[in-house]
Chain A
């Protein structure tokens, strides 16, 4: 099973600042990685697939990068609605599909 590890667990930033979230895989997943945003009380929403491709309707301030075992999600200028939980997920070698433990972006 591929283990996904996200850091930090909590990221404290101010509106308008840049947020950098990390995700590490226990073995290479190529570019088969997705990022999701989960606001309180809501379902996760797909932000990024293929490590760097924004999903439909996702603003350009969200960008993903990386391949192999190291990945990054950058939110270039945090808006109030961006304060949420973020999860990475690999689909390179499954079952099982596996998620990281999440990063909470807080004010």
Chain B
């Protein structure tokens, strides 16, 4: 069973870069069938998609964050990472990593499943 786990600093100072890593276990990240995604959820608010990356390195980003976001993949470690630069308090959120359907499977063209448990990152001095 595929599992994902986020890791990284829980506290980041304003103007610095938020860096998180997602470790994938129970399956290979080097698959044609899926993207690897980051989604975030500010405290008490809804879900915001950040971006999705194919293992080859090509990907898609939310234009609202595009200038500050980098998502990368390390196939040797079965991990993918998120870097969000120039953070402010508005970037305080629970950050989830997840698997995102890329090629149709049983009529599914793009759902997100499974998700990591999430990690709360607070931006504060």
**Residues in A lying within 8 Å of B, measured CB to CB:** 32, 34, 36, 42-46, 49-50, 53, 55, 87, 89, 91-92, 94-102
Chain A residue numbers with a CB within 8 Å of B60 are 94-95
Closest residue of chain A to B113 (Cβ to Cβ) is A46
Pairwise interchain contact A97-B52, C-beta atoms closer than 8 A: yes
Check B62–A34 contact: CB distance below 8 A: no
Q: Which of chain B's residues have a CB closer than 8 A to the CB of A97?
A: 37, 49, 52, 100, 110, 112
Min Cβ gap A37→B in Å is 11
Give residues 62-110 of B contacting A (CB, 8 Å): 62-64, 96, 98, 100-101, 106-110
Interface string of B40-70 (1 = CB under 8 A from A): 0000001111011000000011111000000
- A96 to B69 alpha-carbon distance, docked (Å): 14
Known A96-B62, A97-B52; contact A43-B108, beta-carbon cutoff 8 A? no
Chain A residue numbers with a CB within 8 Å of B117 are 42-43
CA distance A94 to B61 in the complex (A): 10
Q: Which of A36, A87, A92, A95: most chain B Cβ within 10 A?
A: A95
Output the least CB separation between B73 and chain A (Å).
Answer: 18
- Report A53 CB to chain B, min CB distance, Å: 6
Which of under 10, 10 to 19, 20 to 34, or 35 or more describes the interface residues of B? 20 to 34
Looking at chain B's contact residues, is the secondary structure mostly helix, strand, loop, or mixed?
strand
- Whether the Cβ atoms of B115 and A45 lie closer than 8 Å is yes
A45 to B99, CA, bound (A): 12
A32-B46 in contact given A95-B60, A96-B62, A96-B63 (Cβ < 8 Å): no
- Please list 10 pairs of residues, one from A and one from B, whose beta carbons are closer than 8 Å in the complex, sorted by A's number: A34-B111, A36-B112, A53-B108, A87-B46, A91-B111, A95-B49, A97-B52, A98-B49, A99-B46, A99-B48
Q: How far is the CB of B84 from chain A (nearest CB, A)?
A: 16
Chain B residues whose CB sits within 8 angstroms of the CB of A87 once the complex forms: 46-47
Task: Report how far A42 CA is from B110 CA in the complex, Å.
Answer: 21
Known: A43-B118, A94-B60. A50 touches B109 (CB 8 A): yes
Contact of B112 among A34, A50, A101 (CB under 8 A): A34
Q: How far is the CB of B104 from chain A (nearest CB, A)?
A: 10
Nearest A-chain residue to B4, judged by Cβ? A43
